[in-house]
Structure 1
Amino acid sequence: MNKRIIIIGGVAGGATVASQIRRLDDQCDIVIYEKRPSFSFANCGLPYHLSHEVEDIESLYAASVDEFDNKRNIKVHLNHEVINIDTKVNKITIKDEHNEQTTDTYDFLILSPGAHAKRLEVRGQHRQFVLHNIEQLEDIESSIKTHDIQNVTIIGAGYIALEAAENLKERGLNVSIINRSDQYYKAVDRQFNDDLRDTLLSNDIKLYEHCEVDQIDAHQVILNNGQTILSDLVITAIGITPSTQFIQSSQIDLIDDKFIKVNALNQTSVDNVYALGDAIMTRRAIDNQPIHLPLAWITHRDATTIAHHITNTKIDKPSQGVYSASIIRLFDLTIATVGLKESELTDEYIKIEHSGYDRAGYMPDKEKIQIIVYIDPSTHQVARASAIGGRDVSKYIDLITMSMMNQMVVEDFINIEPTYSPPYASPKSIINMIGYKAINAFKK
């Protein structure tokens, strides 16, 4: 009898792991249960439809239910919510859109329930939206068009808040941000915060700092300091919570009653149950500490790990964990980081700073890049790096991430051979200059 694999959740994680398994095993039965009406969409691309930079919302879908059913022989049930798991008998209970309940059994179960956006509980809830799935994006789009929205308020200062603010401003709307502190995108170094603030202000985004929302009315937001903001629509971007309520009564271990605990093979505490995506707690490679890092590339890598393990096909080099690499675009600014959090660093780490251009200094379209690298004095390896500047910021953070993966000492950065031509790079490559400065720092 063919083994039966049930997948809970049909967005990036669920759809990807199903496809990966099918490539390795054309005989097993694969069934996906997704509680929403949408399937296999690019969650990370949602904000870019707000400006219509991504013009066609349909392009955010990676595949259709029909394609999975007819071409990949994978059965997808939309509007079917799994409400209970009994791992003792390998059985799940499902509730459909008519509230009728059925059960299904499995040989292997894969959890990819994702997460849901936190909502602000304040007085008044007029046109308060969150942005975490296609339906919510469509609701925002509909409200903007139907009510001729001109003034939007974003609550939060993380990457979703900043991406939404950028794209709504590019759409031509008036945008305000409410920030309970004065720091933006906390993954990046504090000393770069003024660059982020200046970029927001120079693009005519109004900033309300060190305050919180007291009330949301039809055409204004009232703050706890008494200020009012003219606002026709509010988007709350204050974080996400794993959608794991239905797992809490099962035999599957959770961390802090919400994050699914997995090992290096993405197995849960129950051997034939796996998990991936925004609901899991993964491992940080630098110190092997648990970390929640809801990024799509991690989910895609974990899908490969699960697929190979279930189908008994070998992966030559299992995952080392994650290095917490992240990046965001904010108008003409790119911000990226990797490694430990700035707050986790101690005075013993050696700090290297460098400022240079992404191409030869005489090229008219050169862009400045500033980078900060923290080095562990005991290993001479990078523990953290953060950079800000033009688009090529990603290139240098990616190189540093690879150096961390390969336990490369920073002195060897002088031997990294980047491609060079004046339109593409400086002869004094930023990555090489970090190595030279590190050598000098260790001589002191």
Structure 2
Amino acid sequence: MSRTIIIGGSAAGATVAARLRRLDEHQEIVIYEKGPDISYASCGLPYHIGGVLPGKQSLVVTSVGAFVTKYNVEVKPLHEVLEIHPENRTVTVKRLADGKTITDSYDSLVIAAGASPAVPGFIKGANLPQIKTLRTIADADCIRKDVISGKIRSAVIAGGGFIGVELAENLIRSGVRVTLVELKPEVLGVMDSELGRLMTKHLVRSGVDVRTGTGIKSFIVSSADGTETVDAELTDGTHVESDLAVLALGIRPNTDFLKNTGISTDEKGFIRVTPYFETGVDGIYAAGDIAAVSHVVTGKPVSSALAGPAVRGARIIAGRIAGLKDVPGFPGTAGSGIVQAFNLQAGITGFGAEYLEASGLVRDRDFFTAFVSQKSHVGWFPGAGFLFIKGMFEKKSGRILGVEAVGSVSVDKVIDAASALILKHGTYRDLADFDAAYAPQFNAPKSPLNMLGFTAENIDLGLESQTDIQTLLRITGDMERNGGSSGEYYLLDVREPSEVRSMSLPYFSNIPLGTLRDSLAEIPKDKTVIITCAVGVRAWNAARILAGYGYRTSVLTGGASFYAMYR
């Protein structure tokens, strides 16, 4: 009888055990878990703090007792694996209840020990017990109790990633004043800054004090009248005082116990694995936050602290251990992620333009971008929300390298469909051909992804040029310094005068689309004409009209609606 030991009982570990039991009724399966719980939803921790979930038990997908009964698996919580000995296939385990160590043997070993919150050593005072992290149910429960009791009235959060943004929302909704500190220019640094800025502005409008472009330098805890206060000194020299400080600065893999095992890790400590999640050491596999998996766009290994790749990797591991024939390898992750805060959604799959440029690729030589502003379904049907979608495409082949979206609804639909096409090495032509289900309350005959594909095709064919908001702001900044004149550009707004009166863009001349052909004499032919409307459709029509008369044109991405949200 074969024996499998699994280190870690969260998403990857629990999934290996459940799948392996379904494949092999007689396999001995043991889970060693350092914490008190297994199979809990760490992604829901901010929502426990905010009271969205009825209680912490909502986070426990399956209790230890129920898991043991259902799968006939030996589960040992509060047991920490200290060492692995591949030469004799044993592990040394510490029983945390009494400190006693035991030795256990395995035929197959699965490392799913996960990761811990990053606590940077360069932040003075980051290791103080009053500085919190958010990784376990106990972490969330502690903060939740202090929020309910009124002990926490203000908080500073270090890190504007998904967890930091979700935590900020839930604390604000609980009546806590929140300062969110992010070193990058905008929150959601995994996305391009022009879209991340929309979330930054939305958080500010929702009551969060967002400090971007600065980090935490140090924490000092002081006590007075039995009350502790955390003083966070920022790298810009300012100070933020609060009742609570939370680090949401990413993760570090729990791989310190792998020394002298022959298991290879990358420079950050993540385990290098094959497409079958093999570690290179016979009989040992790894999956979940602890592993670096292949990225489907680049083929290079990346860390992926996401439940989706974790459970898919676990399924592959279980199949290999059970001896299934022709178990397919992992094709790679697209890094798909999504977040919502105060009714604004933001998501990404693949890579953004800024990441591609940082990797050495050159925009308009190696890749190009396309941007569309769309309704979630036809605008004439009630309830349509807005969507801003940006796509990145390989210049030579048109292959989709990434898609980002921000909107009030349906961002998940956009990201999920784009991720599926990225997995199959799809191109913008596949977006154009995408056959979305249509009814007026769900979509449009030309779905948002169709429109992204059509726009990318127009750009690739040389029919359309786009100017992004950041480039426009540089142009208008130069015009302001030069008294309103620009030697290279003419800015044209083709909306109706009533629209312009309600929200105008500086230095844009207004010629409504319906009168454009009769007003050509007003538009200089020796300048590039940057055109805007509400969202971009009329601007595109105007660009084609002007192109027919020999003008050089470019359409402002997102139009006036995106400009208004950005500014």
TM-score (norm. length: structure 1): 0.95
Aligned to 2:502: none
Q: In 2, distance between residues paired with 1:126 and 1:405? A: 43
Larger RCO: 1 or 2 (CA < 8 Å, sep 6+)? 1
Q: In 2, distance between residues paired with 1:399 and 1:222? A: 42
Matched, 1:127 2:130: yes
User: Aligned ranges for residues 334-373 of structure 1 at < 5 Å?
Assistant: 334-341=345-352, 342-345=354-357, 346-347=362-363, 348=365, 349-373=367-391
Matched, 1:182 2:181: no
Aligned to 1:136: 139
Higher-Rg member (1/2): 2
User: Aligned ranges for residues 66-145 of structure 1 at < 5 Å?
Assistant: 66-97=65-96, 98-119=98-119, 121-123=123-125, 125=128, 127-145=130-148
Q: What do residues 342-389 of structure 1 show as CA deviations (whole Å, max 9, x unaligned)?
A: 322421212111111001112332111011111112221111111110
| 175, 183, 193: which one aligns with 2:196 | 193
Matched, 1:236 2:236: no
Shift of 1:113: 0.5
TM-score (norm. length: structure 2): 0.75
Paired residue type of 1:152: A
| 219, 233, 236: which one aligns with 2:229 | 219
Name the stretch that deviates more: 214-223 or 274-283.
214-223
Aligned to 1:252: 263
Aligned to 2:343: 332
The answer to whether the 8 A contact 1:126-1:216 is kept is: no
Give the percent of matched residue pairs that are identical in Structure 1 and Structure 2.
29
The answer to whether the 8 A contact 2:111-2:285 is kept is: yes
The answer to whether the 8 A contact 1:115-1:241 is kept is: yes
- Label 1:126 to 1:24 Cα distance change in 2 as closer, same or farther (>3 A): closer
Shift of 1:141: 2.0
Q: What do residues 235-285 of structure 1 show as CA deviations (whole Å, max 9, x unaligned)?
A: 111111001111123222222262111101001111200010101111011
- Label 1:32 to 1:123 Cα distance change in 2 as closer, same or farther (>3 A): closer
Segments of 5+ residues of structure 1 without an aligned counterpart are: none
Paired residue type of 2:99: N
Q: What do residues 98-122 of structure 1 show as CA deviations (whole Å, max 9, x unaligned)?
A: 1111100000000000000122542
- Label 1:409 to 1:156 Cα distance change in 2 as closer, same or farther (>3 A): closer
The answer to whether the 8 A contact 1:151-1:233 is kept is: yes
Residue 305 of structure 2 aligns to a residue in which SS? coil
Residue 172 of structure 1 aligns to a residue in which SS? coil
**Considering only aligned residues, what root-mean-square deviation do their CA atoms show, in Å?**
1.7
Paired residue type of 1:216: I
The answer to whether the 8 A contact 2:219-2:231 is kept is: yes
Shift of 1:405: 1.9
Name the stretch that deviates more: 336-345 or 99-108.
336-345
Q: In 2, distance between residues paired with 1:409 and 1:229? A: 47
Shift of 1:147: 5.5
- Label 1:8 to 1:222 Cα distance change in 2 as closer, same or farther (>3 A): closer
- Label 1:137 to 1:162 Cα distance change in 2 as closer, same or farther (>3 A): same
The answer to whether the 8 A contact 2:232-2:241 is kept is: no
Shift of 1:202: 0.5
Greater than 6 Å deviation, 4+ residue runs = none
The answer to whether the 8 A contact 1:305-1:315 is kept is: no
Aligned to 1:443: 461
Matched, 1:300 2:300: no
